[in-house]
Structure 1
């Protein structure tokens, strides 16, 4: 490290500059994994890389995101040599889902031999950071990055300026690198600067309100629970520790002014009975915490974006958190990016990097597109307040009840085990057609007798009306799915 602007003023720390092969901004899920993975693989090849990992705060984060890692994410962790990060943090194995509609559960297990893990986010992050700190030639620095250093002539990003989190530190330091990777999360400060005209605006579909239930009993232990509450969004529950169960309540915009009252009155009574008391206690004593549910499609980097810098993780691509696929996509991205970067002879050669980014963008599509599309499409169905979406939601629930391949392939897509957007296409529209069959053949409530609902199958004279409704239902399915598919193929 060399001094670049030492000052003779007493008690004033000098500005320093340092140079690296790769500079990573953000020691979260993607940043920490990339630092370790690049270092380990490069060292094994006999050409170690000098890597700097910058993070604003290395204290254990306390967040309600990133607490469920799908089996596909576990598979990626093993490829990165990071599988030990889910050990020793009181992580809970997860074996699938239980979806509940009108008090009826349907079991959706992962394929045999696969499991995910649920845990406290902060503990997992600290385990990833510990692996990064142990890696050869990786320097982890606690500092706040305030700006990207841009060449005034070419516009290329040369590095960053950051202020260390040390007592009395006020001067910004310059950190230079052949390649800068920005992985600063969903609230990225540098997304628009890096992407330029290719930047897309995140779409916020609402919020999840999070609480922790103590010693709660889920309908199926060690399975994520999705409770579909009539007139409201889905409620997610999964065990993240021996005594802790996370509950996420979907709240649409505008967010109610009395959130606690909303949850106590409109949500908890519709949950399984075993969860009523733990949920009430949590609402009464815990602090309600919110996170935006944002969707940001990935647009290709390299051609129209800033030279010398790459966006990674939620700073570039987000999907609805309903399916818990964010970390799985991030780790898979790191696996692909690590292997491609190690084949680049000169990290400062943007022509090579640009070509790499094109390959990476399309190599990640099978998994990323599957998870992205599925997350938003499922959310639209599960939060249905439209009569045509409600038909599709009922059809989806009934489709899962069929079991066999009607469960195995969809859950393999959700879990990140299968990477096949067109398999998702096939199942989504099979669900739509099955929903139409249910519309014509299944009994529905037609009245109440002696205080009990009365059900009856549709009469033949109702078929013309149902035929028109079925067209509207199928068109709704097209409107939900096809724009998402086009968005993923387009960018």
Structure 2
């Protein structure tokens, strides 16, 4: 005999737990009966999902879950500090106003979220491994439940529901079965992480981004009173000896206050890897997906973790989805659910797309390995050095306080054009032997023709970085014509450049 619920949620991580609590406590004439199935209810141990931007903190407050970041020894995050290792310079990027983020041990947050789920009315939190989706016998093969193996119980048990929600994370076991093989994440690199003990960062209560020559960025942020997470970007192919690679190529370029702590951590702690993946969102409830089931969180939409936007997007998604699903009188009526999903997909775009585009574009700049990208990276750092709106605007976008693709387009092309200006007007390093003291000189007039050619390549590179991301996030599913979508991207880029000029 199968257990029957109104909603089944597969996964009790960030998105699954928050959504279960949100739907259970949403105003509704008929209370929902919800089951959350999670493979293991032990405290998880992960190296990502440890930084919540101010926009995510605001979303938690909207959901009535602000207490989940309390009593877990969380650290305040007041903004960022960007370190240019090659230039030996540091720039502060504070959050606007009095806004604050939070950073913490991921597992402690999850346990607080699950405790909130247990207190929510009408919710069963069940330790079970979901193995299959159950479909009916109609021509549309609607999903009507799941099969799962309960911990300590032989055989499989069926759970039926009007709506099934998949929230099983970046390694989702059900993404392909719902959307097909064409929807899969692109892995751009890996973060290698460990814990630094009692380290002194260049600026307290700031996430530190170190720009490393010849490698991707290094991210550091305090997650408790004594613990600081360090995430080192490593591109393919992964070195066979990661510790030796870090000691030889990464550690010497980090701030001196960090180097000894990193060496100790490499001797005493294990290194763990996490893929840095990008997965644009796909419309749900359409003909390309199965009816009766939806995905949420990293199982459906991912961005590069460099900007720490994953949990912020997930919580913000739930803030938007909660009233839409709560207003559906009959969750077994897929047409009603689909209308809610269409509205959700549209309404989430400004925040989710802005955070997603910024995360990948910023990684492409900070992980620069091409000459044109190096120019953009240098220009980006000097753009931050200008202060004022050149800092306030980008950090408002990054922190999800200003969810505006138009504002992101403006600042991205401002950086691109300022990078070109920097090439002409700022002293550049003169090539020489590695053992020589670095020398810098301004561009000569006879170098201008080459710099004009290089400027065109830099601006083209900026368009190549930004354009596909904008198309994937904002226009990919906006209409039936691919030509219309491409023209939309070109027009958006042109508008961004025109606004800057």
Q: Within 1, Cα distance between the matches of 2:213 and 2:180?
A: 42
Q: Within 2, Cα distance between the matches of 1:475 and 1:229?
A: 24
Offset, 1:70: 0.4
| Equivalent residues of 1:25, 1:183 under 8 A apart | yes
Offset, 1:452: 3.2
- For 1:146-157, list aligned pairs within 5 A: 146-154=131-139, 155-157=141-143
Are 1:472 and 2:457 an aligned pair?
A: yes
| Equivalent residues of 1:29, 1:327 under 8 A apart | yes
Q: Match for 1:460 among 445, 464, 473? A: 445
| Equivalent residues of 2:69, 2:102 under 8 A apart | yes
Q: Within 2, Cα distance between the matches of 1:40 and 1:342?
A: 10
Q: Within 2, Cα distance between the matches of 1:437 and 1:85?
A: 46
Structure 1, unmatched stretches of 5+, are 5-16
| Equivalent residues of 1:447, 1:455 under 8 A apart | no
Q: Within 1, Cα distance between the matches of 2:407 and 2:24?
A: 36
Are 1:345 and 2:316 an aligned pair?
A: no
Structure 2 length-normalised TM: 0.93
Offset, 1:453: 2.7
Are 1:165 and 2:151 an aligned pair?
A: yes
| Equivalent residues of 2:430, 2:439 under 8 A apart | yes
Q: Match for 2:390 among 388, 401, 406? A: 406
Are 1:378 and 2:396 an aligned pair?
A: no
Q: Within 2, Cα distance between the matches of 1:302 and 1:40?
A: 24
The residue aligned with 2:496 is none
The residue aligned with 2:402 is 418
| Secondary structure in structure 2 of the residue aligned to 1:248 | strand
Offset, 1:445: 2.2
| Equivalent residues of 1:158, 1:180 under 8 A apart | yes
Offset, 1:196: 3.2
The residue aligned with 1:266 is 249
Q: Within 2, Cα distance between the matches of 1:444 and 1:338?
A: 53
- For 1:12-91, list aligned pairs within 5 A: 17-42=2-27, 45-91=28-74
- For 1:94-133, list aligned pairs within 5 A: 94-101=77-84, 102=86, 103-133=88-118
CA separation of 1:177/1:107 partners in 2, compared to 1, >3 Å: closer, same or farther? Answer: same
Q: Match for 1:208 among 191, 195, 210? A: 191
The residue aligned with 1:145 is 130
| Equivalent residues of 1:295, 1:318 under 8 A apart | yes
Offset, 1:47: 2.5
Superposed CA RMSD: 1.2
The residue aligned with 1:9 is none
What is the count of residue pairs matched by the alignment?
471
Offset, 1:447: 5.9
List, as ranges, runs of 4+ consecutive aligned residues in structure 1 with deviation greater than 3 Å: 447-452
Q: Within 2, Cα distance between the matches of 1:68 and 1:455?
A: 38
Are 1:387 and 2:371 an aligned pair?
A: yes
Structure 1 length-normalised TM: 0.94
CA separation of 1:105/1:345 partners in 2, compared to 1, >3 Å: closer, same or farther? Answer: same
Structure 2, unmatched stretches of 5+, are 478-501
| Equivalent residues of 2:379, 2:415 under 8 A apart | yes
Offset, 1:152: 2.4
Offset, 1:163: 1.1
Offset, 1:454: 2.5
The residue aligned with 1:433 is 417
The residue aligned with 2:482 is none
CA separation of 1:131/1:440 partners in 2, compared to 1, >3 Å: closer, same or farther? Answer: same
- For 1:224-235, list aligned pairs within 5 A: 224-235=207-218
Offset, 1:354: 1.1
Offset, 1:206: 1.1
Offset, 1:262: 0.3
| Secondary structure in structure 2 of the residue aligned to 1:287 | coil
1:144-171 Cα offsets, whole Å, 9 max, x none, are 00000011224000000111112xx112
